[in-house]
Structure formats: C-alpha cells, structure tokens
Amino acid sequence: MLFNSLAFLVFLPIVFGLYWFVFNKRLSWQNGLLLIASYFFYGWWSWQFMALLALSTFLDYVYGFSVASLNRKRARLFLWLSIINNLGILAVFKYYNFFALQFQQGFDTLGLHIHPTLLEVALPIGISFYTFHGMSYVFDIYRGRQKPVTNFIEYAVFVSFFPLLVAGPIERATHLLPQIQQRRSFSYRQAAEGCRLILWGMFKKVVVADSLAGIADGIFNNYTEHNGLTLILGAIAFSFQIYGDFSGYSDIALGTAKLFGFELLSNFKFPYFSRDIAEFWRRWHISLSSWFRDYLYIPLGGSKGGKLKAVKNTFIIFLVSGFWHGASWNFIAWGFIHACGFLPLLLMNRNRTHVNEVVAADRLFPNGKELLQMFTTFCFVTFAWIFFRIHDIAAALDYTKSIFTNFHNQAEALSYLSIFLYIIPLLVIDWQFRRNERRLEIRKRNIFIALSSRVVLYAIYTLTAMFLLNSIIQKENVSFIYFQF
C-alpha cells in the first residue's frame, strides 16, 4: 500500500479511529490492532510474502532467548544463526541472481559455459529493512543492551510497524520496543505535529519528487541526445527527486507514527546543507548509516588501531552500504565514490568537524565559506548520484564525460530550468526548519514574517492536496524509489 494512494487515505483514519476510540481500553488490544493493520498494509502489496515476514520475525524472536544465555558459546552460536538466517533471506531474494550471473560470466572467460537457474520472483518490498530490524534486536541482546521480549505480539509490532515496514527508518529495539510496551495516551500536540509532517512529506513526494521524476527520467534515459548543461540539470533534478522521494517517505512515516503515540528515529536532517561528506552521511539516511556504524564499523575495530585500519573499515562500510541498495555494480561504485570523498577528511582528522551544530545556527544566512562548502559537497553528492541512477557503469561514465565534452545546442537547457520551480521552494522551507526537522511550526517575533511564512506553508499544503487528488484521480500513484531496496 502506497502512502500516496486512495487506499492509504482510507486505511489510516480507520485504523486511527479504532486505535484511539475502540481498542484504547487495553495496551494489548492496541498492539494487536497495530500488528493486524501492519500485515494488512504489507499484504495489500503482495500477500504471498507475508509468510516470509512472519517467518523472519518468528526466528529472531526465538533466537533472542538463546542469545541472552549466560553461556557465551551458546549465545554466540545463536547470534550467528540469526545473522545467517537474515543474510540468507537477503542472499536468496535480493542477491542470488546477481552472484549467479557473475559466476556465469567468470566461467565464460575461462571458456566454460554454464547456465545457472535464476529466480523469477519479485524482490519482497521492505526485506532489507525488516531483516535489519531483526538483526539489531539480536545484536543488542548479545551486547546486553536489550532483554528478550516475552510477548511475541510486542516484538512482531516492532519488526512490522506499518509506517516504517517497507522503507524505514530502520528502528532499534532499544528505542521502539519500550514505546510499544508502555501505555500510550492521545496527545493533540503530537498528533498535530504528525499531520504537519505527513503533509510536508506528501509535498516532497507528490509535488517535488514526482514532478522532477519525469524531467530526470527524460534526460537520463536519452542522455546521448542532450548537451552538457542539460545533463547537469538532469543530475540536479535527480538529486532533489531522490531527496524529496525518500525524505518525503520518512516524514510521512514519522508523522503517521506520531498519530499513534510513537516517536521514530530521524532519517534525514537536511543533508543538502552539509558542509562536507562526513556531515552529509550524518544527515542522509541516518538510520542506515548509524546501523552500519554500530553493528559493522565498530565491531570491525572502527578507527582503533591506526589510520590504515580506519581507512580499510571505512571502505568496507561504504561498499557494503552501496551493495545494500541493490545487487548491481553501479551501487558498489556509488559507495566507492563516497568512500573516496570521505577519505581526505579521515586522513586529516576532519571527519568529525561538523557533528552536532547546524549550519548558520544563530544566523539568518550562511557566510561565504559555508556557502562554498555546501556547494562543493552538493556537487560531489550529485556527481555520485549519476552512478546510483544509471545501472550500467560504462553508461554512467559516458554521461559524466558528455557533461564536459558535449557543447552542442546549449540553449536547449533553458527549457529545463523549470526544475528550480520545485527545488527553490523546497530549499527555502528546509532552510527555515533546519534547526528541527520535526517541528514544522512558525514561531517568529516579527508578526509580518510569521504570517507570511504561515501563508506560504498553507499554500504548500493546499498545493499538495491538489497534486495528490489529481494523481489519485488519474491513477498515477508513483511508487517510492526506496521500495526497490
């Protein structure tokens, strides 16, 4: 079920009403309703894979008790069983065909021709997310940060909670499970914040991302016919398309969770205002990058043991992160490019320069140095997005080469400047709320600025409703990009 669909617009108020007005007498009833609603939400897309979700959930629930054993050998055994189980599910459904084809090509170079059997099955939506939920739960039990959950429904809600089930954020058991286990009461303020986040996320998706998608697709799919300046605009369009699409999904997820009394982990904190690549990765897909940091980078030794080990572990993290996005060499190349961009910061001990502070936190505008840093970081990220967008690495290199060598008919690019009609409002509003991505409220002492900003916000919400209604009527509900991962 898509957030930007008529089905969801009917589903959400029904579940909300039942949750707060019918099943509100007991916590167990509310959790049971959330579990049923979550499986219904998932099964709306494909009921066949509900059994896979249930199996993954059950196995990690059972493993958790053995991983908590005081016998460390037994605990380690079941920890590895959980890892093998979760990575095995990913390997079969997401990576089997990729590796089978790579082996086939390898044997072909040796003159040996094999014909591996390929899986002709769609990738189960959300598989990369819910398997990581399960692994984080088992890891945290092994480390003593989380006790095994005895109530299966509570654990199953943690894994399958419908706002985050198919595209995150990737939650931690230590953060979400306590909220599932405690009594929840309705908060008007929290619900209002949730509605604002949902509307803002819808704006990013149906107005910005979906509008830019047609432009970006037209340029990327026919890049040999366009000049360098148009190709640059195409890359910029995709940069904001994927940002609007994925961060929009995350905003809707966070907002929807708020309606039910939950606070999910932040997944985006205005990444295009980053001043270097390290800061970008602290602000882009935060739940994934922090997951790899806590459960892979640190166990590998992190930065302990000298620069050489830190460099090795950094490249491992970025390459694995790229491969997590899909079974294709272009995603690995994308991760490698980001690793190369991160490397100078690591070697100069500048990778933690911008950890907590927001750019121009106490000023209305950034200074010249900050503008240059944000611009160069955005250019690097946009260059890397070319390899993310084009699955053929040779074609991605050709696209990049054409930017610097194809100068015919430069006036053509003027017809694509319309992308900034979507990008500029998004940047202006993002800048307004850069200090807190969850509080889309106007609080200014200057009444004129406050009223003007409020008018702009409500105009955006109205525009969003119009675009969403039109897409529903035209039956053009565009799926979210990260559903394929």
DSSP designation for 92: I
Residue positions annotated with a catalytic role:
325
Dihedral, CA of residue 73, residue 76, residue 82 and residue 87, to nearest 10: -130
Question: If we measure between CA atoms, which residue out of 292, 279, 295, 293 comes closest to residue 324?
Answer: 292
What tokens appear for 221 in the block?
A: 């799919």
The torsion angles phi and psi of 142, rounded to 5 degrees, stand at -60, -35
What tokens appear for 249 in the block?
A: 């999904």
Residue 327 pLDDT? 83
Residue 112 pLDDT? 74
Give the pLDDT confidence of 173-214 residue by residue, as tens digits: 999 999 999 999 999 999 999 998 998 998 899 889 999 999
DSSP 280-313: HHHHSSHHHHHHHIIIIITTTTTTTT-HHHHHHH
Mean pLDDT, residues 52-61: 94
Torsion over CA: 67, 70, 76, 81 (sign): negative
Give the pLDDT confidence of 68-103 residue by residue, as tens digits: 998 999 999 999 999 999 999 888 888 877 777 777
Mean pLDDT, residues 224-242: 94
**pTM of the prediction?**
0.90
Helix count and strand count (H, E) for the chain: 19, 0
Question: If we measure between CA atoms, which residue out of 112, 63, 120, 111 comes closest to residue 86?
Answer: 63
What tokens appear for 330 in the block?
A: 């272009």
Radius of gyration of the chain (CA): 23
Q: Is the pLDDT of residue 128 over 80?
A: yes
Question: If we measure between CA atoms, which residue out of 208, 197, 194 comes closest to residue 463?
Answer: 208
Give the pLDDT confidence of 304-352 residue by residue, as tens digits: 878 899 999 999 999 999 999 888 899 999 999 999 999 999 999 898 8
Q: Is the pLDDT of residue 137 over 80?
A: yes
Q: Contact 134/58 with Cβ under 8 angstroms? A: no
Please name the residue that has the structure tokens 């997951």. 291
Give the pLDDT confidence of 278-303 residue by residue, as tens digits: 999 999 999 999 999 999 998 988 88
Q: Note if the bond before 169 is cis, omega within 30 degrees.
A: yes
Q: How many beta carbons lie within 10 A of that of residue 151, not counting itself?
A: 13
Instruction: Give ∠ CA 143-355-128 in degrees, rounded to 5.
Output: 50
For helices 228-259 and 393-405, the axis angle rounded to 10 degrees is 130
Distance CA 160, CA 354 (A): 34
